[in-house]
Amino acid sequence: MLLTNLQNKTVRIWNYLKGDKSFSLQSRIYNSVCVVTIAVMVYNVPFSLALGLYDSVLATLVLIPLQFYLYYLSRFKGKTALSSVFLILIVNLFFAVSYSLNSGIQGSSLLSFSISYFVIIAIVPRRQYWFWTIVNISLVMGLIIWEYYHPELVSERYPTRADRFIDIASTYIMNIILTFSCLSYIINNYSLERVTAEASAAGLAQLNQQKNKLITIISHDFNAPLNNINSYLYVLSNRDLNLEDKKKYENELKRITFDTQNLLLNLLNWSKSNMEGISYVLEEVNLNDAMNDTLNVYQSIAVEKEIRLAYEISADTDVIANFELVEIIFRNLISNAIKFTPRNGIVRVFSSMSDGFHIISVSDTGPGIPSEKQIDIFTTDISPTFGTARERGAGLGLKICDEFVQYLGGEIWFDTIAGLGTTFSVKLPAA
């Protein structure tokens, strides 16, 4: 348990040092390189002291605070590109000086140029690869040629043969460790980025499929009622109808118009939440105020369908929510309840209190939800739905309800019994 806690704490510290996923992958790799470089420099101080390489110790002590500043510039100021250029220049300068002060080609500095090149390629954009490759090769070849013609300018700093072997061997091991660590980190992160990209692509493909399906439904659902409205208006204006037939046509026009308007509102809300995201202020909302307009509209529709709409929520029922979202949620739930309730049925809207939450329920006496459809009731599986009087919908309403209830910090669920009806319940924080 202690080991697990230590590992978790180490991971949290490392994630903080390199930056979270709000940083680009390149920035996280660069920040990791900075941290590792600082660690290597700190390690180099006592190691060089032990070998008597005092010039190397002095140079490292000067570079450590500079390296800290470059890390700060990238991690906390967001200037990764600027910081990386300075880091590359400083690292190359450091190894070039170290080469001349630490036995040249006979020392360990030449090995360090290979790991510095690997680090450079890991942190720079792809378009700069050739430039820094040429710089690295030119610098190393220049130092070797310079030493070849001026060997007296290169300092021999190893007190014993054993010191040279220890320095070169430890540098090689450090390079292998750094290469392995950096490569593993890069591969793991690219794998994670690929998985994330694939998931995003799958989500976009599904959204595109839903969009195509939605367009098909819209083309029918808007065309059919508009044709019906046009036909009814033609009949009303060109034929002499008795009062009963006229009222029948007017009621049918009212129902079709309202269903079409409700579909349009759902489409707008669904598009807004999926494309723009949801951004609403949460405040104290009185349920009666939020449902008043919806109840007035659906009361007349319920009467025409010979359904009793019973509203049983007290006037002082307040929730922490958003007025517009509450209105949308219960407009859809009440609309669905009336749509799927047969004539002479009852739709009830009532509430109860539980642990600081109001549970608002909308029940109907319809046929219930078939078991094969229950699992997908809140998904974006868009498909047309038909009520008991052939009222048509796009199947978006419940998905919108689910998204908006979650945004409000609540819960939504349903209970259904075949042949007896369905109850949808929404749990929202009480004011």
Tell me, what CATH number does 424's domain have?
3.30.565.10
Domain end, chosen from 174, 202, 230, is at 202
Task: Work out whether strand 308-312 and strand 346-354 pair parallel, antiparallel, or are unpaired.
Answer: parallel
Same domain, yes or no, for 14 and 121?
yes
Based on the fold, state whether residues 306 and 393 are members of the same structural domain. yes
Q: Are residues 281 and 182 in the same domain?
A: no
Q: Is residue 179 part of a domain?
A: yes
- C-alpha 311 chain-centroid distance: 39
In a domain, 265, yes or no: no
Is residue 145 located within the same domain as residue 284? no
**174 plus 288 within the same structural domain:** no
Asked if the structure places residue 208 within a domain, the reply is no
Domain boundary among 157, 185, 202: 202
Domain range for 126 is: 2-202
Residue 248 is assigned to a structural domain of this protein: no
Domain match, 29 and 134 both: yes
pLDDT mean by block of 10 residues, the chain; 431 residues: 71 80 78 80 80 75 86 87 85 81 81 82 84 90 90 78 82 79 73 77 73 61 65 71 74 70 68 63 90 83 87 90 87 87 91 91 90 78 54 66 87 90 92 84
Answer yes or no: do 66 and 157 share one domain. Answer: yes
Strand partners, 285: 319
Asked whether 401 and 380 are in contact (CB, 8 A), the reply is no
112-136 residue pLDDT tens: 888 788 878 877 888 888 998 998 8
Alpha helices in 150-160 (DSSP H): none
194 & 281 share domain: no
pLDDT value for 99? 83
- Are residues 31 and 132 both part of a single domain? yes
Could you give phi then psi for residue 352, rounded to 5 degrees? -145, 170
Last residue of a domain, one of 169, 202, 235: 202
198 and 103 within one domain:
yes
User: Is the pTM here over 0.75, yes or no?
Assistant: no
The 10s digit of each residue's pLDDT in 371-428 is 888 887 877 555 555 555 555 554 677 887 888 898 888 999 999 988 889 999 999 9
Q: Are strands 357-363 and 346-354 parallel, antiparallel or unpaired?
A: antiparallel
Dihedral of CA 208/211/213/219: which sign? negative
Assess contact for 418 and 368: CB atoms under 8 A: yes
Q: Examine residue 137 and state whether it is found in any structural domain, yes or no.
A: yes
**60, 185: one domain:** yes
Q: Is residue 293 part of a domain?
A: yes
Q: Determine phi and psi for 363, rounding to 5 degrees.
A: -115, 155
Q: Is residue 168 in some structural domain?
A: yes
Tell me if 261 is assigned to some domain.
no
pLDDT of residue 178: 74
The domain total for the chain is 2
Same domain assignment for residues 155 and 280: no
